[in-house]
Amino acid sequence: VQPNTVIVLHNGSPVEMPWVNEVSAIVEVYLGGQGVGEATVNVLYGEVNPSGKLAETFPIHLEDNPSYLNFPGYLDTVDYREGVYVGYRYYDSKKQDVLFPFGHGLSYTTFEYSNLHFSSEAIKDTDTLDVYVDVTNTGTRAGKEVVQLYVKDLTGVGLRPDKELKNFEKISLLVGETKTVKMTLSKRSFAWFNEAIQDWYCASGAYEILVGSSSRDIRLTKQLHLTSSTIIPFVITPNTLVGDLLKIEALKPYIQQFMAMNADGFEANEAISEEMIMAMIENFPLRAMRGFMGLSNEQLQNMMTQLNAALA
């Protein structure tokens, strides 16, 4: 087989490529329309320096797709069970090997990233953040690069993907030229939809800014601290853990009172100490206290009402 074979793909979505390592190059043109032939020839013969980037991940196998087990569904119903883990958010969070990552694309030149810095390293969620990075054309041809900015939530609050694309900028660079790219982030760049408050929410804490050429080709990273202006109300439900309530000083007297009123359920003996009992109780949800303390549903509801009132 000719070792310098180049494959040109005309397709509407990712395809499996079991032959990927047997060809010297692949040109993805998708469905380029009437002028696709001339455009492809210009790329193949070097008249144009390619600068496109993939807007989706190419998995190795169809079965790798996060929706594989739920599609096509049954009759006229399809379950969308990916949640926030759609596309690269799924593959990158799983650290799963892929054929070509989101944002990938080659050029006939090379680019170097440097000097990542922010307008501020500590912001409130009501502020905007300017992110700056220098990009240099280090190759032998003029070219264009798509600089991609991803945000990684390090707070541990909420269900978040490994990282999410929040901004990008395409720039043209002559040989040896350097440009400073500026990208601006706002509250929505860090936020996720919190059902408890029915609004977009940023948790206070550390976030990481990642800048690169694709979701798997991150060149520079830097952290910042964000302070949230939103207070999430703490609502006590049957699933609230007793241990979480004991951490709130205002609620301790109420919890101790309820336990004293039902002391029979908390008596230590030779087989179990008071420390063991407390360790067990702290991991109880309130609904489990019905059987342990002999509470009726009405008594449990009254207890939750009093506790929520104490927090108001």
pLDDT in tens, 177-190: 999 999 999 999 99
Highest-scoring range by mean pLDDT, 66-80, 89-103, 238-252: 89-103
Indicate if the pLDDT at residue 259 is higher than 80. Answer: no
Indicate if the pLDDT at residue 90 is higher than 60. Answer: yes
Domain boundaries, the chain: 6-94, 111-227, 242-311
Q: What is the pLDDT of residue 265?
A: 53
DSSP string spanning 232-301? Answer: PP----TT-BHHHHHTSGGGHHHHHHHHHHTGGGG---SSS-HHHHHHHHHT-BGGGHHHHHT--HHHHH
- Report the chain's mean pLDDT, rounded to a whole number: 92
Token pair belonging to 28: 């993805």
| Closest to 232 (Cα-Cα) out of 125, 84, 89 | 125
pTM: 0.83
Indicate if the pLDDT at residue 267 is higher than 60. Answer: no
* Mutual angle of helices 252-261 and 297-311, in 10-degree steps: 160
Q: What is the pLDDT of residue 182?
A: 99
Residue with tokens 């509407």, as numbered in its chain: 12
Average pLDDT value for residue range 290-299: 79
Classify domain 111-227 by CATH number.
2.60.40.10
Average pLDDT value for residue range 61-73: 94
At 166, is the pLDDT very low, low, confident or very high (cuts 50, 70, 90)? very high
Token pair belonging to 312: 């108001």
